[in-house]
Chain A
Amino acid sequence: QKEVEQNSGPLSVPEGAIASLNCTYSDRGSQSFFWYRQYSGKSPELIMFIYSNGDKEDGRFTAQLNKASQYVSLLIRDSQPSDSATYLCAVGTGGFKTIFGAGTRLFVKA
Chain B
Amino acid sequence: DTAVSQTPKYLVTQMGNDKSIKCEQNLGHDTMYWYKQDSKKFLKIMFSYNNKELIINETVPNRFSPKSPDKAHLNLHINSLELGDSAVYFCASSQELLGYTFGSGTRLTVV
Contact = CB atoms under 8 A, between A and B. Distances in A.
Contact of B99 (A31, A34, A96, A99): A34
Contacts of A32: 97
Interface stretch (B14-22, B36-44, B68-76): B36-44
B43 A31 contact: no
Given A96-B50, A97-B45, A98-B45, A51 B97 contact: yes
Contacts of B99: 34, 36, 46, 49, 90
A98 B40 CA distance: 19
Given A96-B48, A96-B50, A97-B56, A46 B100 contact: yes
A43 B55 contact: no
Contacts of A99: 45
Interface in B20-49: 31, 33, 35, 40-45, 48
Contacts of B100: 34, 36, 44, 46, 90, 98
Contacts of A102: 40-42
Given A43-B104, A43-B105, A96 B31 contact: yes
B75 to A, nearest CB: 18
A67 B42 CA distance: 24
A86 B43 CA distance: 12
5 contacts: A38-B41, A49-B99, A97-B56, A98-B100, A100-B35
Interface of B: 31, 33, 35, 40-45, 48, 50, 55-56, 90, 94, 97-105
Interface of A: 31-32, 34, 36, 38, 42-46, 49, 51, 86, 88, 90, 92, 95-100, 102-103
